[in-house]
Amino acid sequence: MDLIPASSLAPYSIYCVGKNYQLHAEEMLQWESKGGTAEKPEEPLIFLKPSTSLSYNGKTFIPLYQEKPISTRMHYEAELVVLIDRDAESVPAEEAMSFVGGYGIGLDMTLRDVQMDAKGKGEPWLKCKGFKNSSLVSDLVPADDIHNPDTLVFELSLNNVIVQKGVPEKMLFSIPVLISYLSYIYGLRAGDLLFTGTPEGVGKVKSGDMLHAELLQNRCCSSTLLTVLDVVVGP
Ligand code: MG
């Protein structure tokens, strides 16, 4: 299968979904010292990363401002990434899958300390989510090669230890519902990317760490490796 190269990606917008897996929503509640069961919201929690957040060289790092790192706690979040291949305006969920051009595995790098500070103050998430080199995406599998996206799974290793496993079938808001929602409220453009949310198991990285993410397809009793993403955490 011919993959769509990550180097060809040029999104107008990078949409991301927060808390789209139940167990991740609950681990976030723990850190906010709330704990308990996360209720499924009525609508998905959407935020944007600027297109300048895309890393094309497999490197991520905490930016400096006035010669100081802007965070002390960068976390990985492995996510299924959907490429939109044509403009979508007010599309019902039943038609939304025809707007998918491909599937990749991505990392939504997050400055967790900055995020917790922003949440406490009720401020936007742009700094904690949208910094340079915070969005990383593998080469993508053309949608025509994936007849049933519910067969996709992914996993992430940190320094060769598996830390996250994702089953997109368990997303609280499914891919067609997300595309439909975005198309009604914002309008999607050809080339836009959608990070569909991270499962539980997010954690901290430090300079020198190696992240390796795989997107696989489960069929019957075997799984096929579709595409990989290798990322080095820089100083
Ligand atoms: Mg995320």
Q: What is the CA(65)–ligand 1 centre distance, in A?
A: 23
**Given strand 59-60, what is the order of strands in its sheet?**
59-60, 222-233, 210-219, 152-158, 161-166
Q: What is the CA(88)–ligand 1 centre distance, in A?
A: 23
Q: Is residue 137's pLDDT more than 80?
A: yes
- Residue 138 forms part of a structural domain: yes
Q: Is residue 36's pLDDT more than 80?
A: no
Q: What is the CA(218)–ligand 1 centre distance, in A?
A: 23
- Residue 132 forms part of a structural domain: yes
Q: What is the CA(197)–ligand 1 centre distance, in A?
A: 5
Q: Is residue 26's pLDDT more than 90?
A: no
**Across 125-209, where does the E strand assignment appear?**
135-137, 141-142, 152-158, 161-166, 193-195, 203-205
Burial 34-53 (b: 16+ CB within 10 A, else e): eeeebeeeeebebbbbbbeb
Query: Which residues share a beta bridge with 54?
Result: 135
Q: What is the CA(222)–ligand 1 centre distance, in A?
A: 28
Per-residue pLDDT, averaged over 186-215, amounts to 97
- Mention every residue, 6+ apart, whose C-beta is less than 8 A from residue 189: 11, 12, 13, 84, 87
pLDDT band at 172 (very low <50, low <70, confident <90, very high): very high
Q: What is the CA(131)–ligand 1 centre distance, in A?
A: 13
Q: Is residue 234's pLDDT more than 80?
A: yes
pLDDT band at 40 (very low <50, low <70, confident <90, very high): confident
Q: Is residue 84's pLDDT more than 70?
A: yes
Q: What is the CA(106)–ligand 1 centre distance, in A?
A: 10
- Residue 1 forms part of a structural domain: no
Structural domain that includes position 196: 6-58+70-233
Q: Is residue 30's pLDDT more than 80?
A: no
Q: Report how many domains make up the chain.
A: 1
Q: What is the CA(224)–ligand 1 centre distance, in A?
A: 25
Q: What is the CA(15)–ligand 1 centre distance, in A?
A: 10
Q: What is the CA(135)–ligand 1 centre distance, in A?
A: 10
Q: What is the CA(75)–ligand 1 centre distance, in A?
A: 10
Q: What is the CA(129)–ligand 1 centre distance, in A?
A: 8
Q: What is the CA(57)–ligand 1 centre distance, in A?
A: 20
Q: What is the CA(98)–ligand 1 centre distance, in A?
A: 24
**Across 45-160, where does the E strand assignment appear?**
45-49, 59-60, 64-65, 68-69, 74-76, 78-84, 100-108, 110-111, 135-137, 141-142, 152-158
- Residue 63 forms part of a structural domain: no
Q: Is residue 6's pLDDT more than 90?
A: yes
Q: Is residue 35's pLDDT more than 70?
A: no
- Residue 164 forms part of a structural domain: yes
Q: Is residue 81's pLDDT more than 80?
A: yes
pTM of the model: 0.95
Q: What is the CA(100)–ligand 1 centre distance, in A?
A: 20
pLDDT in tens, 102-136: 999 999 999 999 999 999 999 999 999 999 999 99
- Residue 122 forms part of a structural domain: yes
What's the CATH code of the domain at 164? 3.90.850.10
- Residue 39 forms part of a structural domain: yes
pLDDT band at 164 (very low <50, low <70, confident <90, very high): very high
Please indicate whether residue 135 or residue 32 has the higher confidence score (pLDDT): 135
- Residue 102 forms part of a structural domain: yes
